[in-house]
Amino acid sequence: MAYPTDDTGDAANTYARELVGFAAALRVLHVDRGSPSYREIAAAAGDAGRVSLSSSAISEALSGKRLPSMDFTLELIRQLAGSDQEIREQWRERWKRVKLHQRQATTYRRQSQSRSENGQRPLKDAPDGFQDALSAARLEAERIIKSAQEEAEAIIESARIQADEMTQSATQMLLDATERGTMPGAIRQRLRENSRIALVGPPGSGKGTQAPFLGKLLGTPVLSLGDLFRTNIRDATKLGVQAKGYIDRGKLVPDEVTLGMVAARLEDPDTQHGFILDGIPRNLDQARVLDELLATTSEQIDAALTFDVGQDESFRRIVGRRVCKQDSSHVAHITYTPPQKPGICDVCGGPLYTRADDTRRVIAMRWDVWKAQSASVVQKYGAEGRLVTVSGTGSVSDVTRRAISALNAYFG
């Protein structure tokens, strides 16, 4: 008589491995998403009102304790990867495969139990070695799950340590360069006299992070496009009212309005000896108009500084970003600069949230737009001999040092 023991062991072992792989893939997606807290994911799902995702259920799914339902899985994927239909279908098929192995394991187990209850050879009397093999399979599955959990925790912990080191190193660098005067005066003076700099590059390359550091080191104001919009809208200037009208209608703000704000800001006294542009120009037309604007006072963009990063790194930086609802200039990062209290801004205590456009799908679209419109701006400055390129990977302070060194060599 044939016993289903081998089939039972194979099915159980295969299901355990498939479930481990499924959970491990979820954890990778979770870390890649910026490791949002389970509470954040659950709250976002609750706001969407489709499927309830409790923190405990998310924990069980990511730890491989059980296979969640398909609806639960798809909603979790939606929260982690956006509404990309192709990604959802891939996970749907992955879930079906694991579910099939689960059913097979359950069927064989029930057959084995039925044999025992009907007086047939019970599972404990199965051929020698089966119990050992089944136990070994379970231990191996548990080992894989534990290893995957430890790996994910190590990644997050390493990122947090790196974030602390980055912050401390960058802060120390600023103290050395400004208060202790470790930056040679001649270099600082030369850069300051020629610091009409435009930061250009793809989304997530670090322009917004580097701008304030470079501004402090060079002693020049930073003109951020986001700040210009917020200030003009807050003060209800003519251009601010026009911009708000376009934004409220879901339309792009025309270049003439954007550059009008830039022109008005450049009339302020603090910009007369230099400035740093963050987010401008975004296309060739803006770059040309900006050249014409500066030419009226015999000035120009002295250097366009670009930070070279890959698209994958850009995704990791952006999807983990959290913005304060009370002040959008206060930004944290779940992995690199996590807030002391989850979901709470360290600066003002306001609630942190994920911007609607900080999803993988939107970021991919922004990269497409950058390649279609903004990459030509980098090419323009390069062709004119005004482009300075540095690697954007590594700690904040390392990138800042590279930038200062490259600018010094450029202006030298």
What residues are labeled active site?
207, 282, 321, 355, 366
Q: Are 64 and 18 in contact (CB under 8 A)?
A: no
Query: What are the CA-CA distances from residue 324 to residues 38, 84, 225 (Å)?
Result: 19, 26, 18
Question: What residues form DSSP beta bridges with 199?
Answer: 278, 305
For residue 141 the two structure tokens come to: 């599955």
Q: Are 190 and 408 in contact (CB under 8 A)?
A: yes
CA dist., res. 168 & res. 162, Å (int): 10
Q: Are 335 and 35 in contact (CB under 8 A)?
A: yes
Phi, then psi, of 61 in degrees rounded to 5: -65, -45
Amino acid at 259: L
CA dist., res. 412 & res. 402, Å (int): 15
What count of residues does the chain have?
A: 412
CA dist., res. 403 & res. 336, Å (int): 21
The label of the residue with tokens 């004119």 reads 384
